[in-house]
Amino acid sequence: KLEVECDSLTQVAEALEANVDVIMLDNMSVVDMTEAVKMVNGRTKLEASGGINLSTIGAISKTGVDYISTSKLNQAAVCVDIGLDEAE
């Protein structure tokens, strides 16, 4: 499978012409994502990514994209320092 990251509608059109399997809509506005869904019209899968958080995910889910990805889950994780010391 081939996925191409696009940050503009022009790039979406180019990726669509290249017949890719998935187009990642990176840091696009909800308006542009909605337009990309119309452009693609089911011909390939669309993934929304970048700038996605609890305040934006609701609107993004209504655009019609196939997938939504976010790194917010692991960015908020706290690191744990675990060590193994040899007992004497």
Is residue 34 over pLDDT 80? Answer: yes
CB 40 within 8 A of CB 46: yes
Q: What is the pTM of this model?
A: 0.80
Q: Cα separation of 45 and 39, whole Å?
A: 12
- Please list, in sequence order, all residues whose beta carbon lies within 8 angstroms of the beta carbon of residue 28, skipping any fewer than 6 positions away: 6, 7, 8, 36, 48, 50
pLDDT tens for each residue of 72-87: 665 666 777 787 777 7
Other Cβ atoms within 10 Å of 34 Cβ, number: 17
Task: Write the CB contacts of 14 (distance below 8 Å, at least 6 apart in sequence).
Answer: 6
Q: What is the residue extent of each domain of the chain?
A: 3-72
Tokens 């017949």 correspond to 19
Q: Which CATH architecture group holds 3-72?
A: Alpha-Beta Barrel (3.20)
Over the stretch 12-28, which tens digit does the pLDDT of each residue have? 999 999 999 999 999 99
